[in-house]
Amino acid sequence: MTATLGTPKDRAGHDDLLGALARDRPGRLTYVCRLDARSGESAPWPDWAPADAVRAWQRRGVDRPWRHQVDAAEHARAGRHVVLATGTASGKSLAFCLAALAAIRDGATAPNGRGATALYLSPTKALAADQERSLRELDLPWLRPAAYDGDTSTEDRAWARRHANFVLTNPDLLHHSLLPGHRAWAGFLRALDVIVVDELHAYRGVFGAHVAAIVRRLRRICEHYGGDPVVVTASATTADPGLSASRLIGAEVAVVDVDAAASPPMTIAFWQPAAQPDGRTVPVHESADLLAGLVRQGAQAIAFVRSRRGVETLADRTRDLLANEPDLAAGVAGYRGGYLPEERRVLEASLRAGEIRALATTSALELGIDVHGIDAVLVVGWPGTRAALWQRFGRAGRGRGPALGLLVAENDPIDAYLTRHPDAVIGAPVEAQVFDPQNPYVLSAHLAAAAAELPLTEHDARRWFGPTTRPLLDGLVRDGLLRHRPAGWFWTRPDRASDLADLRGAGPTVRIVERGTGRILGTVDSARAPATVHPGAVYVHQGVEHVVDALDADDAIAWARVEPVDYSTTARSVSDLRIASTLRERAAGALGFGTVEVTSQVVSYVRRTGDGARSEHPLDLPQRSLTTQAVWWTVPESDLVEIDPAELAGAAHAAEHAAIGLLPLYATCDRWDLGGVSTVRHPDTEALTVFVHDGLPGGAGFAERGFDVAEQWLRATRETIASCACKDGCPACIHSPKCGNGNEPLAKAASVRLLDALLTRLVPPLAR
């Protein structure tokens, strides 16, 4: 695409939807650009493509495939692992299905009676179910697809093992069920010809490290049964997709990353919500106004929101704004994680059918279903990465009609920075994926699981899982989890080895149950439960307010009663951190990276009413411990002479908040993947120290990325604070929505002087 750039004044008229919104709401647009339409480049169907599958695709409107679809399928056909990294709605599904269906069709009359098989892996159940539906609609008599996930009945699982030739699942089921029970799948795995790993860009951080180990375990088991399947990976646009894919599957891959699909013209705009009398903005409220305006224009729109609570608020307010037009209000809905599967399926079907005209959603929809053709996409707040932003914007575009992608700035440091530096997004390369297949906390658990599946030899361990395995295996032996014999390492316990690995890094889920009815309202990760469903917390489900009156950690249940309230709740916590080991440092120790141990405890919660009144209520909840990785910087007392000693704690705390807010611009994460601790004098460094740490056990690579780009990152942090128009600090610079101390103390001006002192130490005078 060619981007034609301009100011709001001379570009706003390029899109009717945006033009109408801007005219009714003057002064909000801060940046607009036009992405020109692309005609696309098609290619002939390969002569090996199954003729009946080709006819089925043609009946669905695909006369000829795009060039990148054929190129990727040809690599797979030749037995080469391949990654297809092209834009949203570029037809990646057809590419990997073409390769898989050809393999299945060629082997349909194999002597084993089953023929060749294919396995599809996606990060969510919903996307796998959507792909299964699409395969069934091809109506090919020799194709027997089956979804295999946590919602699949015992009978359907047995049928899939015996008869299916295209199984669609997710990493969790592969890890906990299929691989531990591989002997029951021997026929399927022996015939496995193609493994599809969809949404490659979703496998980042600790989750990416887990999936890398699972794919290696799968390939090892296939080899045991005499198979050598080709792996086809599909990803939204990402930096260096070949490196990411090869690290994930443990083998070299061919790369297809030139998007040949046609695309409609698209207008991209940045929107700064109007300031309230106190100087703050209310982005969710203004986004509701935008959604309502789009619906009135006849558009279908999706709004991506950061939080579950934000989804409920946005959907409710949009319906309120359309209350005098009940037919339009009925077409507004919310979609988020925590909804029950049957609720999500109904919403997905209604969205595809066009019955839902405005949908507020978390990132759950981003990887939930293969939906595109929406007229407009609002992204409320920076989504964490450029790749995620373009992935969401890519949902917009109906045929050759114009599309609108609108980034609505939140009260957040990174949003404030981007409204002044749009070039940091438009025209800038997307991020590389960050994950470490050698993360010892991850790899150790998967070595145990691999040994439980088949005795693990030293050659196998090094070949499939890398050179760092021997010390981990020795540790598993010392812990009594494995036994070492001449034939290799064996699992020795009666329980399941797969239970050692927590793929999503969040532990088990806590069910939220409604008092009186016993209805399950939803779920929340156990790690987030103390801060979100503690006793007294307000929980909103489908617009209905509930108050949590009990959190039972042993039974993993939070009990909530229906109760309309006029306040919101925010948890407060205390944290402590110690450095376990320093792995890297520079600038004479001013910047460090290593392993840390973090302890935290939710100690109270604050009620805030609409008129600003607040009250604090104590809680008695257990401590949580986390061993992870952190980047930290220190400033000696001699460099702090220009800062009032009474403001040092507030300066460090403010710099910590702003730095956490800006790191997602440089690493594939968002601020909720990170944590931080700041102190005027830390016992391990004996100096003022600010820590930013990964939020998951063992680390996810985000803190190390911060270490690598510290100068850029901290300069942007300093500029964001210094250029913010507020007097003493606000959510756009140094306030944090997740601060456990209620954003106290904070010292805005002093934090700028602190960062100046740090940057002086990090950047040599000649390099400035």
Question: Per residue, what are the HEC states of 145-212?
Answer: EEECCCCCCHHHHHHHHHHCCEEEECHHHHHHHHCCCHHHHHHHHHCEEEEEECCHHHCCHHHHHHHH
Coarse DSSP helix, strand, coil percentages of the chain, rounded to the nearest 5 percent: 40, 25, 35
Q: Radius of gyration (Cα) for the chain, nearest Å?
A: 26
- The SS3 assignment for 753 reads helix
**pTM for the whole thing?**
0.75
Asked whether 90 and 256 are in contact (CB, 8 A), the reply is no
Nearest alpha carbon to residue 740 among 656, 651, 631, 629: 656
Nearest alpha carbon to residue 18 among 377, 288, 318, 354: 377
**CB-CB neighbours of 552 under 10 Å:** 12
CATH superfamily of 51-256: P-loop containing nucleotide triphosphate hydrolases (3.40.50.300)
Asked whether 261 and 62 are in contact (CB, 8 A), the reply is no
Query: Alpha-carbon distance 492 to 370, whole Å?
Result: 43
Query: Alpha-carbon distance 404 to 16, whole Å?
Result: 9
Query: Alpha-carbon distance 366 to 237, whole Å?
Result: 14
- DSSP β-ladder status, 117-121 and 166-169: parallel
Residue 611: Cβ-neighbour burial (10 angstroms; 0-12, 13-18, 19+): exposed
Give buried/exposed letters for 84-97 (b at 16+ CB in 10 A, else e): bbbbbbbbbbbbbb
Q: How much is the pLDDT for 6?
A: 37
DSSP 42: B
Query: Alpha-carbon distance 68 to 611, whole Å?
Result: 56
Residues facing residue 117 across a β-bridge: 192
Domain range annotation of the chain: 3-38+263-424, 51-256, 440-500, 509-565, 570-767
Query: Alpha-carbon distance 604 to 63, whole Å?
Result: 61
Q: Backbone phi, then psi, for 152, in 5-degree steps?
A: -80, 130
Classify the phi-psi angles of 742: left when phi > 0, otherwise alpha if psi is within -120 to 50, otherwise beta: left
Within this chain, domains 51-256 and 509-565 share the same CATH topology: no
Query: Alpha-carbon distance 231 to 239, whole Å?
Result: 20
Query: Alpha-carbon distance 466 to 311, whole Å?
Result: 42
Quickly count helices (H) and strands (E) in the chain: 25, 28
With both helix axes pointing from N to C terminus, report the angle between 458-465 and 205-224 in degrees, rounded to the nearest 10: 130
Q: How much is the pLDDT for 49?
A: 97
What sign for the dihedral angle of Cα 543, 549, 551, 552?
A: negative
Q: Which residues of the chain have pLDDT under 70?
A: 1-15, 108-114, 237, 277-280, 337-338, 366-373, 398-401, 431-432, 505-508, 740, 764-768
Q: How much is the pLDDT for 279?
A: 59
Asked whether 200 and 235 are in contact (CB, 8 A), the reply is yes
Nearest alpha carbon to residue 301 among 412, 406, 408, 417: 406
Report residue 668 as tokens. Answer: 């594939």
Q: How much is the pLDDT for 1?
A: 38
Preceding peptide of 241 cis, ω within 30°: no
Report residue 127 as tokens. Answer: 């996307």
Per-residue 3-state assignment (H helix, E strand, C coil) for 52-113 = HHHHHHHHCCCCCCEHHHHHHHHHHHCCCCEEEECCCCCCHHHHHHHHHHHHHHHCCCCCCC
Asked whether 386 and 431 are in contact (CB, 8 A), the reply is yes
DSSP 312: H
With both helix axes pointing from N to C terminus, report the angle between 51-59 and 92-106 in degrees, rounded to the nearest 10: 150
Asked whether 558 and 372 are in contact (CB, 8 A), the reply is no
Q: How much is the pLDDT for 383?
A: 85
Q: Backbone phi, then psi, for 452, in 5-degree steps?
A: -70, -30
Residue 35 CA to its chain's centroid (Å): 26
- The SS3 assignment for 40 reads coil
Asked whether 415 and 409 are in contact (CB, 8 A), the reply is yes
Residue 306 CA to its chain's centroid (Å): 11
Amino acid at the residue 755: L
Q: Backbone phi, then psi, for 650, in 5-degree steps?
A: -65, -35
Report residue 10 as tokens. Answer: 């001379």
First to last CA, the chain: 35
Asked whether 435 and 409 are in contact (CB, 8 A), the reply is no
Q: How far is CA 522 from CA 245, 310, 334, 551, 660, in A?
A: 34, 16, 14, 14, 29
Which CATH code of 3.40.50.1980, 3.40.1390.10, 1.20.120.330, 3.40.50.300 fits the domain covering 3-38+263-424?
Answer: 3.40.50.300
Q: How much is the pLDDT for 508?
A: 59
DSSP 283: H
Residue 582: Cβ-neighbour burial (10 angstroms; 0-12, 13-18, 19+): middle
Q: For residue 51, what are the contacts with CB-CB under 8 A and spacing of at least 6?
A: none
Q: How much is the pLDDT for 15?
A: 52
DSSP 339: S
Angle at CA of residue 590, ends 589 and 595, nearest 5°: 65
Residues facing residue 693 across a β-bridge: 630, 675
Q: What is the CATH number of domain 509-565?
A: 2.40.10
Residues facing residue 629 across a β-bridge: 595
Asked whether 598 and 625 are in contact (CB, 8 A), the reply is yes
- The SS3 assignment for 531 reads helix
Q: Which helix (H) or strand (E) holds 598?
A: strand 591-609
Q: For residue 155, what are the contacts with CB-CB under 8 A and spacing of at least 6?
A: none
Q: For residue 369, what are the contacts with CB-CB under 8 A and spacing of at least 6?
A: 126, 127, 130, 348, 351, 352
Q: How much is the pLDDT for 399?
A: 57
The arrangement of secondary structure in 440-500, i.e. its CATH architecture, is Orthogonal Bundle (1.10)
Classify the phi-psi angles of 250: left when phi > 0, otherwise alpha if psi is within -120 to 50, otherwise beta: left
Report residue 431 as tokens. Answer: 């991020």
Give buried/exposed letters for 283-293 (b at 16+ CB in 10 A, else e): bbbbbbbbbbb
